[in-house]
Amino acid sequence: MTVEAFRALGLSAELAAACTQAGFDTPTPIQQQAVPAVLRGQDVLALAPTGSGKTAAFALPLLQALGATRVGWRRPVRVLVLVPTRELAAQVAEVFRALGKSLLQAPKVAVLFGGVSVNPQMMGLRGGADVVVATPGRLLDLMERNALDIARVEALVLDEADRLLDLGFASELQAVLAALPARRQNLLFSATFADDVAALANGLLHDAVQIRAEASQEPPPTIVQRAIEVDAGRRTQLLGHLIRQGKWRRTLVFVATRHATEHLARKLCDNGIPAAPLHGEMSQGQRTDTLEAFKAGRSDVLVTTDLAARGIDIPELEVVVNYDLPRSPTHYVHRIGRTGRAGAAGEAVSFVSAATHGHFALIEARQQIALPREQVPGFEPVETAPAGPDKGVGGIKGKRPSKKDKLRAAAARRGD
């Protein structure tokens, strides 16, 4: 059934079979709409969140177009995918490589990003590349070094265009666009359609097919959600207890700060639990090595921040722990959605202290869920909720007093 479903989109038998081998059950909504449009050569504007199957939605038809014509040893860049982060670049490139293996002549895929030495990437571009997946800054750097030419690009993909613009790549994008041929196919994927994205789309796309795959505000039903009450000072001990008792492997733990990732990982290691920190201030080599070690099972726990976790896909992730609660319900869904992927079972545990019980209650209200509060024997909380107007609301985005609020409150106390 799977092969036939992908064949019905217009894909070749080889690529449809590759979907089965990759574990795709049926085409996702965005794939059902985008694949035929891309195969027809149309421009596409897609609102597509992470986890919607968007990478395969553009990779599959572009691979089919590449396979339709043979090339010699010297390969001009025919597909260019621009992404905002190093992790996303690596993941998109891996999708192209995995699906492209099914073709008679597998495409050469180059992945380019900053934070690492430019020389290996220049060496990898010798002889050209069919597909280049890159962050804009490193792409321009290599173009200035004459390491590649994008004048023969047939298809341009902007993946997570909203984040490209949020992270300040607007000027780099314009420089890349100026170096591309006027006649090409343009595919723009974005999680939001803010004004800057709309302006980019209007200047880039022509008679585009518009596709909307809304981000789900609910976690997959395969995820068991838990809320455990514990005093803030005993969270580390409780985490170690749960990992040992549940025999958890591949546990992803979210904390609020870079310092917390390193501190908690060190504490777990001191207690005999292999753990590693992951945050945005690590070098690319460190981040890559840390992720690979975690995926290979050389560490049981990965302690990370929201920033470093974006765009990371970890297969067979068993448990997600909110050691520090997220600031918003959207981040809550994003965090726990890292487990329970592709129909697999998963578990999401949130630590709730007296100071954050109101915070978590707001998350529940906005998510329309109500989780029973658990207490683990030996870790029963003794702290009480703080008094005052916040009453434990604390970290919810938009609920903290603003600077003006604090100034007004101070003035009121003084009688001004």
DSSP string, 236-257: HHHHHHHHHHHT--SEEEE-SS
233 shares its domain with 197: no
Higher per-residue pLDDT: 395 or 96:
96
Averaged pLDDT for residues 139-161: 95
In a domain, 413, yes or no: no
146 shares its domain with 258: no
163 shares its domain with 309: no
In a domain, 410, yes or no: no
228 shares its domain with 199: no
Nearest residue to 50 via CA among 2, 91, 111: 91
Domain CATH number, residue 70: 3.40.50.300
Averaged pLDDT for residues 90-104: 90
The Cα 210–Cα 34 span in angstroms is 9
Q: Inform me whether the pLDDT recorded for 321 exceeds 70.
A: yes
Beta bridge partners of 269: none
DSSP element (H, E) containing 122: helix 118-124
Query: Final residue of a domain: which of 212, 238, 270?
Result: 212
202 shares its domain with 109: yes
The Cα 30–Cα 5 span in angstroms is 14
Burial pattern 247-258, b for ≥16 Cβ within 10 A else e, equals: ebebbbbbbeeb
36 shares its domain with 176: yes
pLDDT digits (tens, 9 = 90+) for 193-226: 778 888 889 999 999 999 987 655 555 567 899 9
Percent of the residues in the chain that have a pLDDT greater than 70, as a whole number: 85
In a domain, 388, yes or no: no
137 shares its domain with 72: yes
- CB of 362 within 8 A of CB of 393? yes
Q: Name the CA dihedral angle for 332, 334, 338, 340, rounded to a multiple of 10 degrees.
A: 80
For residue 72, what are its two tokens?
A: 């010699």
**Which DSSP state fits 75?**
B
164 shares its domain with 61: yes
Predicted pLDDT at 311: 58
Structural domain count, the chain: 2
Which of 104-113, 161-170, 310-319 reaches the highest mean pLDDT?
104-113
**Which DSSP state fits 396?**
S
Task: Kindly report which listed range (109-123, 353-367, 381-395) carries the lowest average pLDDT score.
Answer: 381-395
In a domain, 406, yes or no: no
Predicted pLDDT at 219: 58
Query: Final residue of a domain: which of 212, 240, 262?
Result: 212
Predicted pLDDT at 415: 40
For residue 27, what are its two tokens?
A: 């085409």
Domain limits for position 369: 223-374
Query: Final residue of a domain: which of 181, 212, 243?
Result: 212
134 shares its domain with 232: no
Summary mean pLDDT of the chain: 85
122 shares its domain with 199: yes
Predicted pLDDT at 240: 96
pLDDT digits (tens, 9 = 90+) for 295-308: 888 999 999 988 65
Which of 17-31, 124-138, 279-293 reaches the highest mean pLDDT?
124-138
Averaged pLDDT for residues 48-77: 81
In a domain, 52, yes or no: yes
Nearest residue to 301 via CA among 283, 278, 284, 328: 278
Confidence category of residue 387, pLDDT binned at 50, 70, 90: low
Q: Residue type at 246?
A: G
- CB of 59 within 8 A of CB of 81? no
Q: Which residues contact 88 (CB under 8 A, 6 or more apart)?
A: 159, 160, 311
Averaged pLDDT for residues 250-258: 93
Burial pattern 25-35, b for ≥16 Cβ within 10 A else e, equals: eebbebbbbbb
Higher per-residue pLDDT: 393 or 159:
159
Task: Kindly report which listed range (67-76, 157-166, 174-183, 322-331) carries the lowest average pLDDT score.
Answer: 67-76
Task: Kindly report which listed range (29-33, 85-89, 106-110) carries the lowest average pLDDT score.
Answer: 85-89
pTM of the model: 0.66
Predicted pLDDT at 309: 57
Task: Kindly report which listed range (55-59, 75-79, 316-320, 348-352) carries the lowest average pLDDT score.
Answer: 316-320
Averaged pLDDT for residues 32-57: 89
193 shares its domain with 328: no
In a domain, 383, yes or no: no
Predicted pLDDT at 403: 44
Nearest residue to 310 via CA among 133, 167, 411, 188: 167
For residue 390, what are its two tokens?
A: 């916040």
Predicted pLDDT at 320: 94
366 shares its domain with 259: yes
**Which DSSP state fits 207?**
S
pLDDT digits (tens, 9 = 90+) for 333-386: 778 877 876 566 789 999 999 999 999 999 999 888 899 999 999 999 998 876
In a domain, 360, yes or no: yes
Burial pattern 75-95, b for ≥16 Cβ within 10 A else e, equals: bebbbbbbbbbbbbbbbbbeb
Q: Inform me whether the pLDDT recorded for 409 exceeds 50.
A: no
Averaged pLDDT for residues 74-82: 92
In a domain, 308, yes or no: yes
